[in-house]
Amino acid sequence: MKKAIILIFLVLLLDQCLKIWIKTHMYLGQEYSVFGNWFIIHFTENEGMAFGLQFAGKYGKLILSVFRIFAVGAIGW
């Protein structure tokens, strides 16, 4: 169980570090080829939630963020 938790945190850390690196070192639409055409990092912004769907107009992102915080807390509890 301890190894699984460590693996989950390492994957989450790698995910967040990669997102920060992309956000600070690439411009919108830029592509970075890692393994030829097999693996390409393409910088794009998601304005909404899954699959680019938008929710509740101007305050949608705030509502989704608050919901995610409560959901993670409830799942953890």
SS (H, E, C) 26-54: CCCCCEEEEECCCEEEECCCCCCCHHHCC
pLDDT recorded at residue 31: 92
pLDDT recorded at residue 50: 73
pTM exceeding the 0.85 threshold for the entire prediction: no
pLDDT recorded at residue 76: 83
pLDDT recorded at residue 13: 94
User: DSSP letter at 3?
Assistant: H
Q: Please report, in tens digits, the pLDDT of each residue of the chain (77 residues total).
A: 788 889 988 999 999 999 999 999 999 999 989 888 899 999 988 776 777 777 767 787 788 889 889 998 898 88
User: DSSP letter at 1?
Assistant: -
